[in-house]
Each structure stands twice: as C-alpha cells, then as structure tokens.
Amino acid sequence: MKMITAVIRPERIQQVKEALFQAGISGITLSRVSGHGGEQVVVEHYRGTRVMVEFHDKVEIRMAVSEPFVQAAIDAVLRGARTGEVGDGKIFVQPLERVVRIRTGEQDTAALTPVTETKLTPDGSL
Ligand SMILES: Nc1ncnc2c1ncn2[C@@H]1O[C@H](COP(=O)(O)OP(=O)(O)OP(=O)(O)O)[C@@H](O)[C@H]1O
Ligand SMILES: [Mg+2]
C-alpha cells in the first residue's frame, strides 16, 4: 500500500477528480494549501538585493491505494493536472503501513476496497 500525495493547481481539481474516478480511485482527501515550489524572485533594493519566497494557493490530494492502483493513480493525476507550465505541482509516493476502516475494523487492502451502496427501487425490487 502507498499514500500518494499530489499538490496541484486549484483550477485543475475537476479534471484530476474525473481522471481519478475513471481509474477506479475513489477514496480521496482534499485540502487547500499554500505552497512554494523552490523558485526564487530576487528583488533589487537601494541597499542590496532580497530574495522573496512567494507562496501560491494549491490543492493537496491524498489517496491511500493498494499496490495495483499506484501507477494508475499517478497517471490519472498527470493526465488531469498537467498544463506544461511551471507550477503544475508534484506527486509524492510514500509507503503506507496500515489502514483500518473504523466502521468494520477491516484492515489494509480490505479497508481500502470501496463499499458499493445498493439502493432499492420504490417497489422494493433491485
Ligand atoms: N520538494 C517539495 N516538498 C514539498 N512540497 C513541494 C515540493 N516541491 C513542490 N512542492 C509543492 O508543490 C507545489 C507546486 O510545485 P511546483 O509545481 O512549482 O514544483 P517545481 O518542482 O518547481 O516544478 P515546476 O518547475 O514545474 O514549477 C508547491 O507550491 C508546493 O506546495
Ligand atoms: Mg515551480
């Protein structure tokens, strides 16, 4: 299992979500974050120069996935998030030791398998 963290442009979130759902990845945590990619802006002052470290609004997506979904998740983020301009973001992949679904106590890969809700039709048939 891996924890995949992707930092992307906020304006690409819809495309990334669609690409992830198409790849069968549905457990996702989204956060608005403030990020800096390492680029530096040097500002000239009358008493010398100063390095400005600017932060930009980004969205962080976190997904815990089982091994067969790792490459599909990375490919989906690349497909949805890439514009080709600097600042498209980064993907981090970390080993994930344990996952527990709180409702059932299921562990690891079983805890990552999404639950499919079955809805009854009004007449009670499936
Ligand atoms: N090494 C890093 N560690 C943690 N977060 C990072 C790192 N690099 C980038 N990020 C996060 O990703 C966001 C987007 O980074 P960015 O796309 O500018 O990366 P980059 O390596 O500078 O690539 P590019 O050259 O395409 O701009 C940053 O604002 C920051 O939130
Ligand atoms: Mg950058």
In the predicted model, what is the mean pLDDT of the chain? 92
Residues with CB under 6 A from ligand 1: 7, 35-39, 56, 58, 86-90
Please give the pLDDT value at position 64: 98
Least confident of 12-16, 36-40, 69-73, 88-92: 36-40
Please give the pLDDT value at position 125: 63
* Residue 124 DSSP label: S
Q: How confident is the model at residue 66 (pLDDT cuts 50, 70, 90)?
A: very high
Q: How confident is the model at residue 50 (pLDDT cuts 50, 70, 90)?
A: confident
Q: How much distance in Å is there from the Cα of 52 to the middle of ligand 2? A: 14
CATH 3.30.70.120 fits 2-112, yes or no: yes
Q: How much distance in Å is there from the Cα of 19 to the middle of ligand 2? A: 23
Q: What is the 3-state secondary structure (H, E, C) of 16-79?
A: HHHHHHHCCCCCCEEEEEEECCCCCEEEEECCEEEEECCCEEEEEEEEEECHHHHHHHHHHHHH
